Structure 1
Amino acid sequence: MWEIVATERAGGFVLRHDGRDQSHVDLDDPTYLAFDYVRRMGDVVDAVGEPGAPLRVVHVGGAGMTLARYVAATRPSSPQIVLEPDAEVTELVRAELPLPRRSGIKVRPVDGRSGVAALRDGQADLLVLDAYDDGLVPADLLTREHFQDVARVLGAGTFLLNLSDRAPFAHTRRVLAGLRESFAQLAMGAEPATLRGRRDGNLMVLASTGPLPLAALRLRAQASAAPYRVLDAALVSDSFGGGVAFAD
């Protein structure tokens, strides 16, 4: 069951599903990102492309649309598509946590796989995969075939994935193996404790056919309220190699 609960912060609300927090939305200040992993994703939004310039963004997974609201606030006039198959949650969010007027955010009630397949070549500058079902990213969104389709839609753009895993990262290794088949550049951001295997956590994976903004991202990582490490392609290969790609 989906529910929306007010927080102690003025304008703040948490979207929950079966008792698990899915999104935090601040209606008064959409640039406020409560969850650490979402702040890391916001750092990517800030780092890619020209600072403050509009971005064409596709979100696979919507829920409260926290990151889409952030993009609309920090990069006005950005055209955004949110692929969210759960019409119930979209209806609830629209009713109780309405999107800003002229936000440029369009929600499509389709699953990520078919929604991405329907997009044009080179349609997006940034494609964000942050979709979970019972705590797991749907398997069909992590196959080599889907990554090929994502690469088609992005052209020279950036693919941002939010994964959840823990050492020895067997699942993440397989995802990265599939990404390497379609993207020349990989990077990762995560908390040091997660990388050292002390606890499970979110792994922010970046992939692109062109250069990634690692210098800008590292500056943001160091200045973050919850500092994290940014690994370049060589470090990702050294620490997360050896996987076998998922396939359809």
Structure 2
Amino acid sequence: MSGPRHEIVPADRRDAWLVRLDGRDQSYVDLADPTHLAFDYVRRLGDVVDLHRRAGEPTRVVHVGGAGLTLPRYVAAIRPGSWQVVLEPDEELTAAVREQLPLPRRSGIRVRPVDGLAGVAALREDCADLVVLDAYAAGRVPAELVTTAFFADVARVLVPGGWFLLNLSDRAPFAATRDAIAGLRSVFRRTLVAAEPATLRARRPGNLTVVAGPDDSLAEALAARASGGALAARVLGHDRVSDSFGGGTGT
């Protein structure tokens, strides 16, 4: 059986490219300006990267899922000297990205050819400030990456005060997101959710950015960033998440 089909095609800006997997857009990579985050959910992930510590300060990030390495490139650009590990099992895709969309020299980005479950299990305790889950197979997050056991392993890898960021694709009534949040709440103290208003109002499916961590310190600042501009989103703090995404069972 043949594997996923990869394409890297020109995007809407000079020196910008779309990485596609089986016809689905996976990444938008702007080689001239890695701080340009075209996809709304990636912009929300980038906002968390911006807010979790002082501007320009290096950080340590584990990315579960790589594709075109858009977010790692962003971190390397705005936080020079950061330590980043990308867990991406698709070696053919990684090779194509490295050849056609090369990383900057001394980017600090290391790609390991391993799936998220095994890759996180191999990491030492307290090694990351952020863990980002943005991994898809056949249009869905692999089931083994949205379990309470995996979330607990992520918590082991995070330093005290670290944050777990998840990109979940879902639609009302958000059964998958409810189950994921139930599992997250058994491991982490606080959760928040950010998404386009149309997705939250059940008008269309979309990407939900879920952030799990020790407190509510990001909620207000993230809401302020997400409320304006072309990529506006609503941010639901911990209590609102309970009201809107309760009832999940976790796995």
| TM-score class, shorter | over 0.9
Under a length normalisation based on structure 1, what TM-score does the superposition of the two structures give?
0.97
Task: Tell me the amino acid that sits aligned with residue 208 of structure 1.
Answer: G
Task: Check conservation: 1:60, 1:127, Cα contact below 8 A.
Answer: yes
Give yes or no for contact 1:185–1:210 (8 Å, CA) kept in 2.
Answer: yes
Kindly indicate whether residue 217 of structure 2 is the aligned counterpart of residue 209 of structure 1.
no
Deviations 1:70-89 (A, max 9, x none): 00001111100000000000
Corresponding residue number in structure 1 for 2:250: 245
Whole-Å separation in 1 of the counterparts to 2:12 and 2:175: 38
Note if 1:181 corresponds to 2:186: yes
The aligned counterpart of 2:46 is 42
- 47-56 or 167-176, which moves further after superposition? 47-56
The answer to whether the 8 Å contact 1:81/1:107 transfers is: yes
Correspondence 1:99-248 to 2 at 5 A: 99-155=103-159, 156-246=161-251
Structure 2 gaps, min length 5: none
Query: Which SS does the other structure have where 2:128 is aligned?
Result: coil
Instruction: Tell whether 2:72 aligns with 1:68.
Output: yes
**How far did 1:47 drift?**
1.2
Residue identity in the other structure for 1:148: A
> Secondary structure, in 3 states, of the residue corresponding to 2:86?
strand
Q: How many residues align?
A: 246
CA distance in 2, matches of 1:237, 1:50: 30
What secondary structure is seen at the aligned counterpart in 1 of 2:183? Answer: helix
Query: 1: CA distance between counterparts of 2:19 and 2:220?
Result: 34
**AA matched with 1:150:** V
Whether 2:34 is the aligned partner of 1:11: answer: no
Counterpart amino acid of residue 110 in structure 2: K
Distance in 1 (CA, whole Å) between partners of 2:242 and 2:74 is 31
CA distance in 2, matches of 1:212, 1:161: 17
Indicate if the aligned counterparts of 2:216 and 2:238 stay in contact, CA closer than 8 A. Answer: no
Identity of aligned residues (%): 62
- 1:49-101 Cα deviation digits (max 9, x unpaired): 22221110000000000000000001111100000000000000000100010
Could you report, residue by residue, the CA deviation over 1:26-51 in whole angstroms, capped at 9, with x for unpaired residues? 11100011111111111111111222
Contact 1:185 1:212 in 2 (8 A): no
Aligned with 2:194: secondary structure?
Answer: strand
1:215 is displaced (CA, Å) by 2.0
* Equivalence for 1:24: 28
1:52 alignment partner in structure 2: 56
Aligned residue number for residue 98 of structure 1 = 102
8 Å CA contact 2:11, 2:28 repeated in 1 = no
Whole-Å separation in 1 of the counterparts to 2:69 and 2:170: 23
Unaligned segments of structure 1, at least 5 residues: none
Distance 1:227 1:201 in 2: 13
Contact 2:29 2:68 survives alignment (8 Å)? yes
The alpha carbon displacement at 1:211 in A equals 4.0
The farther-off stretch of 77-86 and 49-58 is 49-58
Any idea what the Cα deviations from partners look like across 1:175-234, whole Å, max 9, x if unmatched?
000000100010010111111111110000000124441122122112332211111000
Q: TM-score if structure 2 supplies the norm length?
A: 0.96
CA distance in 2, matches of 1:212, 1:91: 39
Secondary structure in 1 matching 2:26: strand
Higher mean displacement: 21-30 or 215-224: 215-224
